A = this chain, B = another copy of it.
Amino acid sequence: MTRTAFFISDGTGITAESLGRSLLAQFESVEIRMLTKPYIDSLEKARTLVAIIEATAVRDGEQPIIIDTVVDEQIRAVIREAPGFKVDIFSTFLKPLEEELEAHSSYSVGRTHAIGRDDVYMDRIHSVHFALDNDDGARTHQYDQADIILVGVSRCGKTPTSLYLALQFGIRAANYPLTEDDLDEDGSLKLPKVLAQHRHKLFGLTIDPRRLAAIRHERRPNSRYSSMDQCVQEVEQAEGLYRQLHVPYIDTTRFSVEEISTRMIAETGLTRRFSPR
């Protein structure tokens, strides 16, 4: 018997869904169908949703789990009429917070999304374009503006991480590939000149050669580029360089883009231009 969980939000639903999934991920043995319902920002939409929840309860034969981050009291009151096990963040914590802070709450939807805050919007767009303009070492004259310069072998995750840092935190991230062009006579990697000038901004990415080979195989199957020998060699050379020059680095193999980015920020003390939304 499958149960249904509704993640209800008056906004994008991203936080409600994240939170809901975190909570329900603790119950591996229970099969739960998860539905995100964003933009429930009017009483009419709330009533329509309640009807859907009621129908779901009948079909499942069990009340659904309802996790919501809706701010507006009236909309929450409508949702409360639906049959279900309620995990209501605001109802649970808002009044206690009002008492603690000795202040009234504002009940305004989407306040954290900084709607209309030009500076935040422009900054993210600017950061995304910075990441794209400075992707893969094509351009190197803007490194003065970079907050961080990611380095690593081809396909270890530099581009997605740079873009995520830009989109999520407004961080200006450039990235530069470490390749065989930068080998010394003794076969070890040396730091390209343009990177040497910005040594303090460097952050390395490394990866398990097996994962690297798999990723490269998708791009160029059965090539020297994607062979295990080549991947092992490149990864060892890159890591050798990081250790030699004391460049901080992260092994991206088992991490999501969020984890790589937030660990990088935690380690370097990089200031984010703004908060997650």
Please list the residues of chain A having a beta carbon within 8 angstroms of any beta carbon in chain B.
3, 11-15, 17-19, 21-30, 34, 38-39, 65, 69, 71, 85, 87, 89-90, 92-94, 96-98, 100-101, 103-108, 111-116, 118, 120-122, 124-126, 128-129, 132, 157, 159-160, 163-164, 167-168, 211, 214-215, 218, 254-259, 261-263, 266, 275-277
Contacts and interface: CB of A to CB of B under 8 A. Distances in A.
Contacts of A263: 39
B128 A21 contact: no
Given A115-B254, A164-B167, A218-B126, A12 B106 contact: no
A259 B12 contact: yes
Given A14-B18, A100-B65, A107-B26, A124 B257 contact: yes
A105 B26 contact: yes
A275 B96 CA distance: 31
Nearest to A126: B218
Given A14-B262, A85-B100, A256 B114 contact: yes
A276 B23 contact: no
